């Protein structure tokens, strides 16, 4: 932690006293610490305690003369922002981008990684509003430590306790964890493609982009420079990733080729195999008494196979095989045919597409590994670690 700049936001919770012990630990580890105290936080710990322990002035008021531009400077200063304790209120302000106080404004303006340690009554933690805010923040890359379960100040028990200072320090150390993919460029495709029938209508599929986006985020977390080429999706951009949006398979291929060279490419997009051979410039008309128009299809380019034969072929080329039967046999055949190094094979006969869990087999030229059914983020983290080992 030596030389790391940590901006600690202390919001309103009985557990705010633990923030003081956390500052002592951080400083003992050689970190530089500045603190922002919210209005609620100031009900539980004093500005004087924070100033004494950080050895720095404490920031409280968005409109104080020294903060009026200072909030941007403050947002740019840290290597990481830690919100501990994080009340339900600050989680809501973060999730919805409400720049209503200094803490929420700095959180909106910072590009530093953010670690959040919630502390609140179990009923407030379990409330669907809080859970929705937490899901939104996690999807944007905010890292959570806790809450822990146990006895609470109000003689209740349940999830909502602030994690202990040493656990928070360990979570922060993990945030600064090893970056084995630093200096590597990763290309990831994600989402469906939309193939126009006319200016209004298109052919598409049920891909949500969740697995591909999670892979992009996991590679970035290990230090890779990531270019994510995404078809139309309704999920947020992963943090720390350069995103290019496309509609069609042809556009996705062009964007991939333009992004080369890359050390690794992961083709997770559910690219449409076919497109309407002729996309009408005007809306197709339904005329009374006439039969429906036939739709002639043309073959789309295969992006994975094109990358497999490319002069700038990535050193490690990874594809997916979404199958509904004979998953492994079909995936092995695809590995050969498309000239890639690994295939993640998954059975999509259930609720994988659009769902949050995925079960894959990792198929390499050496053999087949069965991975357990895992959240898509964990499949992504595992894959990113394997990629880092392979490129080491």
Decide whether 167 or 302 has the Cβ nearer to ligand C5P: 302
CB of 179 to ligand C5P, least distance (A): 26
CA distances from 253 to 131, 195, 222, 256, 271 (A): 38, 14, 26, 5, 10
Interface residue with ligand C5P among 29, 198, 251, 302 (CB under 6 A) is 302
The full DSSP string for 297-343 is: EEEPP-HHHHHHT-TT--SEEEEEEEESSSHHHHHHHHHHHHT-SEE
Q: Is 172 in the site for ligand C5P (CB under 6 A)?
A: no
- Tokens describing residue 119: 């502390």
Considering the complex, what minimum distance in angstroms separates the CB of residue 302 from ligand C5P? 4
Least distance CB 271 / ligand C5P (angstroms): 3
Do 323 and 348 touch, CB atoms closer than 8 A?
yes
Any residues with CB less than 8 A from the CB of 197 and at least 6 apart, and which? 203, 276, 279, 280, 284, 295
Near ligand C5P by CB under 6 A: residue from 271, 352, 387, 388: 271
Please select the residue that binds ligand C5P; options are 33, 83, 267, 384, rule is CB under 6 A.
267
Considering the complex, what minimum distance in angstroms separates the CB of residue 269 from ligand C5P?
Answer: 5
DSSP 97-109: T---SHHHHHHHH
* Member of 125, 144, 202, 320 binding ligand C5P (CB under 6 A): 320
Binding of ligand C5P by 31 (CB under 6 A): no
- Residue 147, preceding bond cis, omega within 30 degrees? yes
For residue 249, state whether it binds ligand C5P (rule: CB under 6 A).
Answer: yes
CB closer to ligand C5P, 200 vs 298: 298
What is the distance between the alpha carbons of residues 40 and 51, in angstroms, rounded to a whole number?
A: 17
Tokens of 187: 């290309």
- For residues 258 and 335, what is the distance between their CA atoms, to the nearest angstrom? 24
Residue-by-residue DSSP string for 28-43: HTT-EEEEEE-TTGGG
Distance (Å, whole) CA 305 – CA 323: 18
| Candidate ranges 162-170, 218-226, 317-325, 372-380; the one touching ligand C5P (CB under 6 A) | 317-325
The interface region with ligand C5P, picked from 44-52, 97-105, 298-306, 380-388 by CB under 6 A, is 298-306
Residue 39 within binding range of ligand C5P, rule CB under 6 A: no
Catalytic residue, chosen from 121, 133, 205, 300, is 205
Residue from 33, 319, 362, 381 binding ligand C5P (CB under 6 A): 319
Residue recorded with tokens 């050689």: 30
CB of 299 to ligand C5P, least distance (A): 8
Burial of 150 (0-12, 13-18, 19+ CB in 10 A): exposed
Q: Which of residues 177-236 bind ligand C5P (CB under 6 A)?
A: 189
Of 11 and 189, CB closest to ligand C5P: 189
- Is residue 387 a contact residue for ligand C5P (CB under 6 A)? no
Minimum separation from the CB atom of position 236 to ligand C5P (A):
21
For residue 311 the two structure tokens come to: 């002069």
Whole-number minimum distance, CB 214 to ligand C5P, in Å? 15
Q: In the complex, what is the shortest distance from the CB of residue 306 to ligand C5P, in angstroms, rounded to a whole number?
A: 8
| Nearer of residues 67 and 195 to ligand C5P, judged by Cβ | 195
**3 state DSSP class of 368:** strand
Give the three-state DSSP class for 124: helix
Q: Which stretch binds ligand C5P (CB under 6 A): 2-10, 134-142, 295-303, 364-372?
A: 295-303
Interface residue with ligand C5P among 20, 304, 317, 379 (CB under 6 A) is: 304
Residue whose entry in the numeric block shows the structure tokens 């087999």: 361
Active site residue 205: yes
Kindly tell me which of 34 and 189 has the beta carbon lying closer to ligand C5P. 189
How far is Cα 128 from Cα 375, in angstroms, rounded to an integer?
Answer: 20
Which is nearer to ligand C5P, 7 or 303 (by Cβ)?
303
Name the site residues for ligand C5P (rule: CB under 6 A).
189, 249, 267, 269, 271, 273, 300, 302-304, 319-321, 334
Q: Where in the sequence numbering do the catalytic residues fall?
A: 205
């Amino acid at each position: 932690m030596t030389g790391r700049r940590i901006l600690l936001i202390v919001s309103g919770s009985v557990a705010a006293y633990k923030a003081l012990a956390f500052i002592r630990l951080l400083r003992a580890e050689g970190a530089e610490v500045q603190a922002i105290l919210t209005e609620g936080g100031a009900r539980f710990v004093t500005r004087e305690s924070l100033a004494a322990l950080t050895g720095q002035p404490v920031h409280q008021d968005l409109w104080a003369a020294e903060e009026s531009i200072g909030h941007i400077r403050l947002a740019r200063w840290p290597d990481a922002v830690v919100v501990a304790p994080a009340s339900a209120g600050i989680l809501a302000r973060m999730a919805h981008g409400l720049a209503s106080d200094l803490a929420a404004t700095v959180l909106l303006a910072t590009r530093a990684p953010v670690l959040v340690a919630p502390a609140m009554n179990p009923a407030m933690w379990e409330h669907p509003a809080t859970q929705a805010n937490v899901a939104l923040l996690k999807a944007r890359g905010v890292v959570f430590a806790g809450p822990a379960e146990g006895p609470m100040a109000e003689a209740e028990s349940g999830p909502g306790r602030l994690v202990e200072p040493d656990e928070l320090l360990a979570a922060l150390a993990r945030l600064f964890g090893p970056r084995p993919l630093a200096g590597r460029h990763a290309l990831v495709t994600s989402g469906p493609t939309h193939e126009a029938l006319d200016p209004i209508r298109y052919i598409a599929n049920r891909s949500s982009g969740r697995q591909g986006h999670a892979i992009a985020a996991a590679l970035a977390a290990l230090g890779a420079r990531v270019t994510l080429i995404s078809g139309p999706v309704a999920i947020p951009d992963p943090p720390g990733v350069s995103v290019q949006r496309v509609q069609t398979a042809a556009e996705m291929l062009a964007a991939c080729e333009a992004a080369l060279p890359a050390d690794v490419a992961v083709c997770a997009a559910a690219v449409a195999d076919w497109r309407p051979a002729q996309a009408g410039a005007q809306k197709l008309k339904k005329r009374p008494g006439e039969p429906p128009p036939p739709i002639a299809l043309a073959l789309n380019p295969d992006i994975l196979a094109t990358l497999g034969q490319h002069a700038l072929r990535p050193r490690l080329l990874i594809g997916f095989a979404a199958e509904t039967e004979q998953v492994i046999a079909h995936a092995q055949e695809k590995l050969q045919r498309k000239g890639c190094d690994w295939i993640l094979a998954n059975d999509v006969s259930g609720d994988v597409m659009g769902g949050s869990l995925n079960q894959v087999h990792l198929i390499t030229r050496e053999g087949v590994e069965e991975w357990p059914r895992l959240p898509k983020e964990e499949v992504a983290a595992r894959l990113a670690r394997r990629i880092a080992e392979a490129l080491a």
